[in-house]
Amino acid sequence: MTTDLLFTHRFEPGDRSGATPLLLLHGTGGDENDLLQLGAMISSGSPLLSPRGRVLENGMPRFFSRLAEGVFDEEDVRHRALELGEFVQHARKRYGIDAPLAVGYSNGANIAAALLLMDPHALSGAILLRAMVPLTDPPAARLHGKPVLILSGRQDPIVPADNAGALAAMLSAAGANVDHRILPEGHQLSQADLGLARTWLAEAKQHTAAS
């Protein structure tokens, strides 16, 4: 665990040449350890960069403030997204990694989506697990075909299906290559999420190499 570079974080260097670095972004109440196993299962041997959210809600770490469940403090979202982008920039220099692909769950997926819109150069793409629209009036981002996978749950009580669809449309309009899947799940993750994320990332890597 490292406590500088703005965020308390974990970095696992990986052991596979050319493996895509992953930026792991936990959900509410998680920490820098939460998604390490998930990241290793999605892309074995990848460098893993996993920060802890700096905002506390009733003692639980988050990546930005909210006014109520599903109602975000959008000024704070913008500030925290740029702060996370700065962290990624410094971490890349320290650890010698390429622009990472974000793997975010819930609150972590939402800040990853905000980072794509606020600082498109910070990420090479994203896997957004149970994400929703982070900004109602986002900047005019240019994502130039960045690969994005959105995995939503049909029975998710927190993220309405139309909201997840609006996020997919928003990122597509910004130029991302978006694949939005709706699974027969709730807000929690499942083996189906893991399998789809792993397959999608391998295919996205092959497509990038071919182009």
Which of the 8 DSSP states describes residue 192? H
Catalytic choice (34, 156, 180, 193): 156
Helix (H) / strand (E) element for 208: namely: helix 191-210
Does residue 61 contact residue 33 with C-beta atoms inside 8 Å?
no
Nearest to 88 by CA among 114, 115, 59, 60: 115
Could you tell me the sign of the dihedral formed by the alpha carbons of 170, 171, 174, 179, in that order?
negative
| Active site annotation includes 187 | yes
| Active site annotation includes 106 | yes
Does residue 96 contact residue 15 with C-beta atoms inside 8 Å?
no
CA distance 98 to 115: 16
Concatenate the DSSP letters of all residues of 81-95 into one string.
HHHHHHHHHHHHHHH
The distance from CA 106 to its chain's CA centroid, rounded to whole angstroms, is 9
Catalytic choice (50, 106, 124, 152): 106
Nearest to 125 by CA among 187, 52, 46, 66: 46
Catalytic choice (31, 79, 187, 190): 187
Burial class (CB in 10 A: 0-12, 13-18, 19+), 116: buried
Active site residues: 106, 156, 187
